[in-house]
Amino acid sequence: MTQAQLNREVARTTGESISTIIERGFSLARWIPVEPAMCPIDWDYEDSRKAISLLPDRQNRTVN
């Protein structure tokens, strides 16, 4: 697929003008990242690892 074909297809799909698509700079991905630093980050997993309470939980405390 040439760049012109890609621009026309993206413009047709999005409803934007071809000049808008050219300005935004769409291109075909020529490679797939294989290095760990280039892989997508699972933010939900990262958030779950960092969800640490700064204060003790007092909701389950029984009163004597």
* pTM given for the model: 0.45
Q: What is d(CA 22, CA 7) in angstroms, rounded to the nearest whole number?
A: 7
pLDDT at 51: 59
Confidence tier at 36 by pLDDT (50, 70, 90): low
Q: Please say if the pLDDT value at position 8 is more than 90.
A: yes
Q: Please say if the pLDDT value at position 19 is more than 90.
A: yes
Burial class (CB in 10 A: 0-12, 13-18, 19+), 7: buried
Q: Please say if the pLDDT value at position 41 is more than 90.
A: no
Contacts of residue 32, defined as CB under 8 A and 6 or more positions apart, other chains included, come to: none
